[in-house]
Structure 1
Amino acid sequence: MQLLQPQPKVNTSSLVHTLPIWDPNIGLDQVQRALWSEAISEENQVDWLILHFNAWFSHHNVILFKGEHEPEYFPATANEPAKIQFAHGFFNSALHEISHWTIAGSKRRLQPDLGYWYAPDGRTKEQQQLFEQVEVKPQAIEWLFATAFGRNFRVSLDNLTGEGGNGHQFKDAVFNKVQAFFAGNASLPPDATRFIQCICLCTRNGKSLQATEFKREMLD
């Protein structure tokens, strides 16, 4: 099963050829614990996401959970699994934090907050430029996740009280990264691939994401 397919007449290579192969025979009965179609409210959908993420990635000894405060990642201890805390029970915050986790390698997953640099809201122009450089890939992957769920996606410069940065260029970069995934010029992390496949089985009857579902004007 292909997860992503390139646009016709643009690039004929498919993304699946650039990704590690995992069990192609996985079926809906193996990944679905509750019907996505019955998760109507935002709260229901968040609970659905937590239930399924924790089942799909139990082999990594990690759990997703709602936080009362800002997002944070806690590495596993001798007695506790690793924890991906997302902000205030927001679905899209969960997708964003999952995106960062899929990108992080095994060494970063041993570090608090995945070992990433982060400066809070109020960043200088130089800090904002650095923030945007490291945020392109996770936000592009978050867009894939959101689309698989049939949800809207918005880029975030996350600096309301500081230098706002160049939103147009950042949106261009996120869009171009998504297209690079489809064209085979960039590879998705294996756990992002698995997450997308499981989502699509539950929400799209296994239908692959298509490059035509991602347009630059959708980010404006």
Structure 2
Amino acid sequence: MSARHDPEDLIRLFNTLFERQYRCRLVRGGDEPLYLPAVASSDFHLLQFAHGYFASALHEVAHWCIAGPQRRLQVDFGYWYRPQRNQQQQREFERLEVKPQALESLFAEAAGFPFQVSIDNFAVQESEHRIRFAQQVAVTRQQWVERGLPARAQLFRDTLYRFYRK
């Protein structure tokens, strides 16, 4: 991360855009990212990214931008996470991850930050597998470029572009 890509900037940009309307705050987290819905109507939903990493923040915001209203009421948007997955679990993980990673890549581009696709499974190291998933992410990314992004995602992307390209 360069000084130019300070996660505090992402926190400020996200919270300025979404805190009031969606009652959601982007915050630094610990070892693992986590989305925590508000417990009471006066509370805020918390979107925690891992270790204060810029890329983790972009990725978690991508998940949040895709999640519908019902998903945003569930811990981690109702998804499971297993660090080591068998082949079937890995396929399901990738099916669910292709859209967030495509969106993350668009956010990274807007911010002038490098993007790397992640299969997030140390048990799967074969390059063919990684290449295939990267191709799926690229196809999904292109579809969004052609068809348009979800509204919250477009707003965040535009904000990143204005902030980092000034």
The answer to whether the superposition gives a TM-score over 0.5 is: yes
| Partner AA of 1:125 in structure 2 | Q
Match of 1:93 among 51, 56, 74: 56
Structure 2 residues without counterparts, runs of 5 or longer: none
Per-residue Cα deviation, 1:45-91 (whole angstroms, up to 9, x for no partner): 11111111111112110001111220000001224200000001100
Instruction: Say whether residues 1:169 and 2:123 are aligned partners.
Output: no
Distance 1:203 1:66 in 2: 20
Show the 5 A alignment for 1:8-157: 41=3, 45-58=6-19, 59-78=21-40, 79-118=42-81, 120-157=82-119
Distance 1:157 1:164 in 2: 9
Q: Could you tell me the TM-score, scaled by structure 2's length?
A: 0.91
CA RMSD in angstroms, aligned pairs only:
1.6
Q: Could you tell me the TM-score, scaled by structure 1's length?
A: 0.69
Structure 1 residues without counterparts, runs of 5 or longer: 1-39, 206-220
Distance 1:103 1:191 in 2: 8
SS at match of 1:88: helix
Which one has a bigger Cα radius of gyration?
Answer: 1
Deviant stretches of 4+, over 3 Å = none
| Partner AA of 1:145 in structure 2 | F
Q: Which residue of 2 aligns with 1:17?
A: none
RCO (CA 8 Å, sep 6+): is it higher in 1 or 2? 1
Q: Which residue of 1 aligns with 2:161?
A: 200
Distance 1:173 1:133 in 2: 9
Aligned residues: 161
Q: Does structure 2 conserve the Cα–Cα contact (< 8 Å) formed by 1:128 and 1:164? A: no
Q: Which has the higher helix share?
A: 2
SS at match of 2:116: coil
| Partner AA of 1:196 in structure 2 | R
Q: Does structure 2 conserve the Cα–Cα contact (< 8 Å) formed by 1:121 and 1:159? A: yes
Shift of 1:164: 4.1
| Partner AA of 1:82 in structure 2 | H
| Partner AA of 1:134 in structure 2 | L
Distance 1:183 1:82 in 2: 31
Distance 1:189 1:181 in 2: 9
Distance 1:126 1:163 in 2: 12
SS at match of 2:98: helix
Instruction: Say whether residues 1:159 and 2:121 are aligned partners.
Output: yes
SS at match of 1:140: helix
